[in-house]
Every structure is written in structure tokens, then in C-alpha cells.
Amino acid sequence: MTYSIYSKDRQSLQFPVMCNGYVEFSTADAFSTETTGVWDYQGPFTLEMIITPYEVNGNPLNDNENSQKTLPRDSAGLTYLSSADRHNVEMCLFHNTNLTLSLVNKTTSAFYQPAEYSLKAEVRINSTTVTLESDVVFKSEIVDDAYSAPTNYFYQNHIPIYVSTGVNATNVVGRVVTTQTLSGGWTAGQPVYNHQGKLVGTIASSPTPTTTSFTTDADIANAPTVGQKLYVPVNRDVLYPETVHHVAVSYGNKNIMLFYNGRMVANSNHTQSQEFQLDTSNIYLGKRGSGGATTTQFMGELHEVAFYKEARRSFKSINSLLPPFRTTLLYCDFEESRL
């Protein structure tokens, strides 16, 4: 019996945070007068990829300037992608005029909340585009230890979602909440909740540690009860930048299917009955075209990419692609060497 043991780290094509990079497959290099190769095929298909996405929200209380896998919130990071734009991110994995696969950031606040991504496919047939999107599949995890001080937390379905600041409201006038001394951990954009778990408002500007009040950026939605605790979201973190993930989109018999780690996470029918064919335009990996917006920039690692002329409903492996010669139209292995 023979065993194969691999000890080296996995290689990849890395798209660093704050980059402007993509891989382009040009039709000009494939054909001059006649459509050939992957662009020539018509029929069912499967696009599958092995990827490692990075985190784009960043940490509001730590600039993470030295992080290679988290988009920082220092001046350079916010110039590259503002707080508002981070919640509009659709990191493009694969793009052609007729087929796009992206990761969509579904979070609405970056404070104590890392990015969480859904899968989104756009399939265009006969000039009609049908969009299919999954629920969140790249998730964050609670890192607060609620068991050590359970009374400091607000729970929903037995899960701690807010943690007490240790500060009570002492007065409320207009958009100003008077409190005890705010000793650190308070920052602009941070949502604050009352003792019933209802949003009081979002802090308009960062108070100093000796301040005894904060101002919300809009009219207070649910005024905190004087003498009751104020809460902020629990700390969360992510593991997805530290491992590989399998994602895929498959199409056949009008049915579009999305897969995450081998499990179908969404499916829907296309409205058109014609066969699918890639547009005779360039294919891009990592961005929605050469002039794509920064919000479409993929930040992370591509390990393998494959496009097959068959509609798959199951996958033999989710840790490495096994492209069959008979049906493979495009295959990229970025693990051969450091790039």
C-alpha cells in the first residue's frame, strides 16, 4: 500500500486587499475570424472554482494595517473603498457578458460585523439576464465569551447578539443620549441598542473617553429607558480567509443551480429556452471587466477554475477540482507555483 503525503502550503493566485487586478482571456488571442474554443460551445455548462475570499469590512477599532486578508479602515483603506461602498461589494469571480459569478457582501454595518457573502450568478440568454442569489454562505462567528458573564448579554433565540457597554442612559434630549463616562470602545458609525434589544441609533461622531454623552446620526428610533443599560453588537470574526472553499454555478434544461462546498444553495429556472453560449467578449477572473468598479474587485485567492460542457448536480471533490478531459473547455490551476 502506498501513501502520498503533501507538506507544502497550497499555492494560489492572490488578489491582495486594495488591489486592482484581474486575469483576462482575450477573444483576440483565441480567434480572428471564426469563434473557437470555450466561446464556440452551446449547451449546458458548469463553472466551478476553488477560492479563498478575504474580508472587506475591516475592524472599526483596529486599523489592521498589517493584515493581508482584511481590508483596513485606515485612511488608505477608506480612500480605496469607503464604509458605505463596502456594503455594496460584489466581488467578481468570473465575468463574461453572458455569465457572471460573484460574492455579495450582505452586511449593513461594519462595526463588530465582518463581511458575510452570498453567492450570485447572472446568466444571460437571448439578451435576457436571470439573476440567482443564495443566502449567506460565507459567515462570521461570535467570538465573545457569553458564558463567563451571561447577564451582560442580550439574547435572541438563546444566542447572544448584543453585549452591555457597562454604561446606563441618564437622560435623552433630541438626538443626544447622556450617559456615564464613555471609557473607550465608542466610535462613529457604531449602532447602539436599548435594554430591549431595539436600535437607539448610530453614533454620529466618535466621543472621547471622558465624554458623558453621544449624538446619533438621525432621530432616535427607540429611546433608551433612563437607568437601563446600553448595548452594542457582540464581537464577531471570520475563518473563511484561512481555508479553501468550493463554489459553482451549473445550468441545464433551463435550470440554474448554485453550489457551495458541494451543497446546492439556490436554484431557479431561466425564462429563455435557447441554449446557453458565452458571449464573444473577453472572460475575466477577479473583476467585472478591465474597467470594473472597485466594488467588483475580488480580494482573496484563486486556486482552481474550470468550465465544463455539462450541467453537474454533484461534485466528486470540493477540495480540489478533477476536470475530465472529455467535457473540460477551460481549466486554470493556480497551485502549480507561487505567482
Query: The domain spanning residue 218 has which CATH number?
Result: 2.40.10
End-to-end CA distance of the chain: 35
Instruction: Evaluate whether residue 46 is within a structural domain.
Output: yes
Instruction: Evaluate whether residue 7 is within a structural domain.
Output: no
Range of the domain at 202: 144-234
CA atoms lying within 13 Å on the CB side of residue 46: 22
What total of structural domains would you count in the chain? 2
pLDDT tens, per residue, the chain with 339 residues: 444 444 456 678 999 999 999 999 988 776 655 667 799 899 999 999 999 999 999 865 554 445 689 998 888 888 999 888 998 899 999 999 999 999 999 998 776 789 999 999 999 999 999 999 999 999 998 877 777 788 888 888 888 888 888 889 999 988 999 998 887 667 777 889 999 999 998 888 878 878 888 899 888 989 898 999 998 888 888 899 999 999 999 999 999 999 999 999 999 999 999 999 999 999 999 999 888 789 999 999 999 999 999 999 999 999 999 899 999 999 999 976 554
195 contact partners, CB below 8 Å, separation of at least 6: 154, 224, 225, 228, 229, 230, 231
Domain co-membership, 120 together with 188: no
Domain co-membership, 33 together with 119: yes
What predicted TM-score, i.e. pTM, was given to this entire model? 0.84
CA atoms lying within 13 Å on the CB side of residue 294: 17
Domain co-membership, 217 together with 273: no
Set of cell numbers at residue 201:
441609533
d(CA 81, CA 72): 10
For residues 121 and 101, is the Cβ–Cβ distance under 8 A? yes
Domain co-membership, 157 together with 20: no
Domain co-membership, 17 together with 155: no
d(CA 289, CA 287): 6
d(CA 99, CA 247): 15
Cα angle, residue 178 at apex, residues 175 and 184 outer, rounded to 5°: 105
Domain co-membership, 210 together with 249: no
Query: The domain spanning residue 280 has which CATH number?
Result: 2.60.120.200
Instruction: Evaluate whether residue 318 is within a structural domain.
Output: yes
The residue behind cell 453621544 is 214
